Structure 1
Amino acid sequence: MCTTQEPVIRAWITAHRKSLIIWAVVVGAVIAVVNTMNSMDPGAHRDKDGRVTTAGYEELVSLRSGDCFDSGGHLPSAGTRIMPLTTVKVVPCDRPHDAEAFASIELPAIAPAPNTPPFAEYAHGQCTSQAEAYILDPWSAPEGLRAFYTAEAIKNWGSGDRRMVCYFGLAGSTLTSSLRTDDAALTTEQKAYLKAAGPRGSAVAALPRGPEDLQAKLPAFNACAARAAAATREEIRVLESTPWSPAVGTEITALVAELRKEATVLDGLARTGQAGAFGEYADGTAYNAPLQDAVVQVRRALGLTTES
């Protein structure tokens, strides 16, 4: 994993001055230690499509993508990432809640076992790709939103129970609707842009920030910069090969020019990046300010939010 810190999605957008769509999936093995459900607690009722219609208690690891739930204030903390529950109250998404499952994944037998360092990196990748598809535009995500995962206990891993659930949590706040992007509410151009920008956002978001031991981990961070540079060039390729309306196309052309400059900066970090250079990139002193403006102008032309 390129970075070990626990970023907040919107904080990353701010730190990079809206330069791109940034995903920051914070993952950690969630160790369930308390079961709050007893035999008298009713399970949730669902309609024929699987949507929850009546609140009820279910095991955290059995949640489905799109399930909203109330943790009762027990979301994992930034320091421990431990969820002190095995069951949670699942509710219709228009009812108050503080968390939402966005992926339920059956992992292959070759996946690393839970609660091991290799599994943390593996889960990070699995949840990140699912998160990008669930919320196409992270700029629309609530401030402070984090993403976590929980997996079947190690004792069940060998017997074939390898389900992992990725979920968003918003500690100290209340949600009253689903976080899932309504694909039907987006125009063709909006979807094309968001899908083009998403992978690059994840790659750049994985670069180091803050007080990490950059020098000791520099080779890994150089590799991360190389991946970010490649993702930037892929975004350029997709943007240039997509047909745009005249008004949007003008702004896309300006954005592509700034992305080329950004790719050059990332190439430099990949080849010869030193700890100081990564620090400057992370805190914004080496930031390409016109890129911020170009992204905002594209979003404005597309009718997407320009506030974060």
Structure 2
Amino acid sequence: MAIPPPPGPERSEGPYPPAAQGPYQGPYQGPYQVWGQGYSPYNRPAPVNGLAIVALVLGILCFLPAVGLVLGIVALAQIRKRGERGKGLAVGGMVMSSLGLALLVLAVATGGVSDFWDGFKGGVNDSARTGTVFSLRKGDCFDEPGDSSKSVAVHVDKVPCAGRHHAEVIANFAMSGAGYPGRGSLRDVADAKCRTFERAYAMDAWAVPDDVRLYHFIPTRDSWNLGRHSIICMLESGDGKSGLKGSLRKDGFTLNADQFAYLQAVDTLDVALRAAPAATHVDDDLRGYKEWATSVSVALDDEAHLLRGHGWFPAAEKPVATLVDDVEASREEWTKAAAATDADTFSAHFEKGLKLIDPRGTVTARKVLGLTTTPPSNDGGGGSRDNGGSGGGLEV
């Protein structure tokens, strides 16, 4: 026997009215709502106020505390108005800025700011002035603290060259090689190269005081093993007490074109005159004196060509031309001395040639060119300043 189905809802018989159709209704409606562009099913958090962040940063750094306090107040007003986040940041910045402002007022009232600034300036000046010997560079002026007569030096105080100072650096060059060359070898190199650097740095030898001597720093074995291979050449006060005043630098960095051209020309002769034989009398080394005369004659010829080849300003043309005439006349005498067969003939031409290049004959040209016009008292005849070699040095 068939079991009848459970009773269901009563339904009416007859036709059913069609469901209402919208103008965009498709054949199937899914169970999920479709979100159009520009809408999101999730709630976005409110943005953090930018001024609140800035106020907190200024408060933490104690930088411009008054500004940090004002920005915190403005940030709170914007947060209330716009519904933004960051109230805690703004309040924290205001608190810390207020503390910083209070400390600043206290420091000003007690003079703490002035003390801090003075100490800061002093620290900067000390760090700029004080250093090791190895920090010295060409053109630096410095003092040696303590006993400058000791054989080993490490620390120096850099000072402005315009004021009183102990020494002035004329060159800083590095030695090559891995092994320590030895003290004697380093001193020989320093003596030779520092003399060359002196001529290039202080081209106007007349401007260098008579009591100034050439000095140098050479590395010790320990410094060498640490990679410090520099030799430092300097000019210093001869007595080590009175010091130098003003820079001794006279080179292409400080001279004008005419001054540089003149000093470059006369340096050619100065170098040759310094190479005189060691023998006191011509009779003792006639051959050596004749070779020397030949080199001086060549140097005089080079000097004349350099002086004639430069385009001088009008006021300098005549005194320089007169100087060139003397140089060429002197060259003829030195050439004759180089060809002499006996000491008397050599001496006669040597004396005439030397007289024609007397330093006092260059004073007029020097004055017009704006160079020093007082010859050094130890002048050797050609305007050079030769104190017999390097004054020695210290190990560093």
Tell me if TM exceeds 0.5: yes
Aligned-pair identity (%): 24
Asked if 2 retains the 8 angstrom alpha-carbon contact of 1:114 and 1:151, the reply is no
* 1:260 paired residue number: 328
Give, in angstroms, the shift of residue 138 of structure 1.
Answer: 1.6
Q: What is the correspondence of 1:169-248 to structure 2 with a 5 Å cutoff?
A: 169-170=236-237, 171=239, 172-181=241-250, 186-207=255-276, 223-248=291-316
Please state which structure has a larger fraction of its residues in helix: 2
- DSSP-derived class of the 2:250 partner: coil
Distance 1:144 1:89 in 2: 22
Q: Which amino acid aligns with 1:232?
A: L
* 2:129 paired residue number: 55
Give, in angstroms, the shift of residue 132 of structure 1.
Answer: 2.2
What is the aligned residue count? 251
Which residues of structure 1 form unaligned runs of 5+? Answer: 1-44, 77-82
Q: What is the correspondence of 1:266-281 to structure 2 with a 5 Å cutoff?
A: 266-267=334-335
Q: What is the correspondence of 1:68-217 to structure 2 with a 5 Å cutoff?
A: 68-71=141-144, 84-93=151-160, 94-109=162-177, 113=181, 115-116=183-184, 122-153=189-220, 161-170=228-237, 171=239, 172-181=241-250, 186-207=255-276
* 2:392 paired residue number: none
Q: Which amino acid aligns with 1:249?
A: E
Give, in angstroms, the shift of residue 127 of structure 1.
Answer: 1.7
* 1:299 paired residue number: 366
Q: Which amino acid aligns with 1:136?
A: M
Q: Which amino acid aligns with 1:64?
A: R
Which residues of structure 2 form unaligned runs of 5+? Answer: 1-122, 376-396
Give, in angstroms, the shift of residue 163 of structure 1.
Answer: 1.8
Q: Which amino acid aligns with 2:170?
A: F
Asked if 1 retains the 8 angstrom alpha-carbon contact of 2:330 and 2:357, the reply is no
Which structure has more relative contact order (CA 8 Å, sep 6+)? It is 1
Give, in angstroms, the shift of residue 155 of structure 1.
Answer: 6.6
Q: Which amino acid aligns with 1:106?
A: A
Q: Which amino acid aligns with 1:230?
A: V
Q: What's the Cα RMSD here?
A: 4.4
Deviation by residue 1:112-159 (Cα, 9 ceiling, x = unmatched): 94544x765543442233222222212111231111223223576688
Cα 1:215–1:301 change in 2 (3 A) is same
Cα 1:276–1:139 change in 2 (3 A) is farther
* 2:27 paired residue number: none
Cα 1:71–1:218 change in 2 (3 A) is farther
Asked if 1 retains the 8 angstrom alpha-carbon contact of 2:333 and 2:352, the reply is no
Asked if 2 retains the 8 angstrom alpha-carbon contact of 1:69 and 1:88, the reply is no
Deviation by residue 1:200-222 (Cα, 9 ceiling, x = unmatched): 2233134357x869877776665
* 1:40 paired residue number: none
Larger radius of gyration: 2
Give, in angstroms, the shift of residue 289 of structure 1.
Answer: 5.0
Cα 1:285–1:186 change in 2 (3 A) is same
- DSSP-derived class of the 2:374 partner: coil
